[in-house]
Structure 1
Amino acid sequence: MSESTAQIIERVGLIPVLRAKNAKQAHAVVDAMMEGGVTVVEVTMTVPGAIDVLRDLKQKYGDKLLLGSGTVTTAKEAEATIEAGAEFVVSPSVHLEVIEATKAAHKVSIPGALTPTEVITAHRAGADYVKIFPCSAMGGAPYLKALLAPFPFLKLIPTGGVTLDTAESFLKAGARALGVGSDLVNLTAVDEERPEIITQAAQAYLQVFARART
């Protein structure tokens, strides 16, 4: 039986957040991450031509890469990105219409929330996971742990301030996966034609997961 989107997200443990300046840069980053064993990526709507980037990545990698869309704030955007190949849809905040459109298409919904009220609102609206954003601004791993105390059934994905140094503490606090930005999605490395920096970072993150899970 093939793995579900949720199973892949939790097995890989990482959702790299791609905010590239153009399609060429986006492809180079994904190539380098895949080389390091990370097979999930969130293409944000802030990437110029994000829909085309999603479509091209889907065509290039097929089932080898789990694609998601990010910074999605309307149902129309959610539907367009799903049509282009997104299997999960991420928002920076709670947009009920986005959750609804994502679930109607049988895809995985990951809205962003911060306060206990927002988090439980997202969960009750049908979110599969809740992205805690910006997590580091609220104290990082201890904040995640505090949220899970009254709501142990929640599946949380901290994003914002996740680095190789903090990754393990987030996992120990109960994170189901981690949203990672520039610490892994290193645009400078691509611009300087040093993709191996991204490949090595991808491998290092996967090692942290392997350690934390044993």
Structure 2
Amino acid sequence: MERIKIVQKLTEYGIVAVIRANSKEEGVKIVDAVTKGGINAIEVTMTVPGAIDVIKELTEIYKDNAEVLIGAGTVLDPETARACILAGAKYIVSPSLNPETIKLCNRYRVAVMPGIMTVKEAIEALELGVEIVKVFPGNVFGPQIISSLKGPLPQANFMPTGGVSLDNVKDWIKAGAVAVGTGGDLTRGAKTGDYKLVTETAVKFVEAVKKARA
């Protein structure tokens, strides 16, 4: 039941903040700024130094806030997925489709969103029990890929990541995406230590998704 609830919340939120940082401390600060702006789905990528420890720390920080969902991203294999789950990750995101990673997540009833680029991969993901299929890298195709995939696969839930910005997020949602993943455009303020800008950008993303859905 927990897995179903996580999928429902991710769909309800409509935005996953993809966190890339140069240090554990910077990662925690970015997450704080993002959640202050109203984005509660957090994807800590494995490219962040000490990413597993970051997930552990964030899980502890937000243990009393059921609205904040801490997940793991850039998970390439089942071994890493299991380590993330043990650290507290509520969901796993991969840049590609790795059947063994999906099987492990299924074993522990943890939501998993593998990346796909083709209809064949999307169908394989569905056959493996994936509830939300990640389209990556989204900027290679643009929003039209969602509507194209929804043609033969209307039953699938797609979440694009890569190239999602304030300028095009409405187009992704209107094309049929149940949620979007965004990183660089959302967190660019962190590069100069301007976490207030990160919060302000998060607010704009939340508003843009709500407006697009309306």
- Under a length normalisation based on structure 2, what TM-score does the superposition of the two structures give? 0.94
> Would you say the 8 A contact 1:25–1:191 is kept in 2?
no
Q: What is the one-letter code of the residue matched to 1:73?
A: L
Distance in 1, matches of 2:192 and 2:165, equals 21
Which residue, 153, 160, 163 being the options, matches 1:161?
163
1:89 aligned onto 2:92? yes
Helix, strand or coil for the counterpart of 1:106?
coil
1:68 aligns with 2:76: no
Q: Secondary structure at the match of 2:22?
A: coil
In 2, distance between residues paired with 1:213 and 1:191?
31
Identity %: 36
User: Match of 2:211?
Assistant: 211
Kindly report structure 1 stretches of 4+ aligned residues shifted beyond 6 Å.
none
Is the CA contact 1:58–1:65 (under 8 Å) kept in the aligned structure 2? no
Distance 2:191 2:172 in 1: 30
Match of 2:45 in 1: 44
CA distance in 2, matches of 1:123, 1:115: 13
Q: Contact 1:67/1:88 (CA < 8 Å) preserved in 2?
A: yes
Does 2:112 align with 1:109? Answer: yes
Counterpart in 1 of 2:187?
A: 185
Question: Helix, strand or coil: the match of 2:153?
Answer: coil
Distance (whole Å) between structure 2 residues aligned to residue 128 and residue 118 of structure 1: 14
Distance 2:193 2:115 in 1: 33
Whether contact under 8 Å (2:174, 2:213) holds in the other structure is no
Post-superposition shift, 1:42?
0.4
* Aligned counterpart in structure 1 of residue 123 of structure 2, from 85, 105, 120: 120
1:150 corresponding residue in structure 2: 152
| Shift, 1:104, TM fit | 1.0
Instruction: Give the superposed CA RMSD.
Output: 1.5
When structure 1 is superposed on structure 2, of 63-72 and 45-54 the one drifting more is 63-72
Q: 1:86 and 1:32 mapped to 2: Cα distance?
A: 19
Q: Secondary structure at the match of 2:53?
A: helix
Amino acid at match of 1:71: T
Q: 1-side partners of 2:68 and 2:55: how far apart?
A: 11
Q: Tell me the SS of whatever aligns to 1:68.
A: strand
Runs of 5+ in structure 1 lacking a partner? none
Count matched residues: 211
Secondary structure of the structure 2 residue equivalent to 1:162:
coil
Letter in 2 for 1:82: I
Q: Which residue of 2 aligns with 1:22?
A: 23
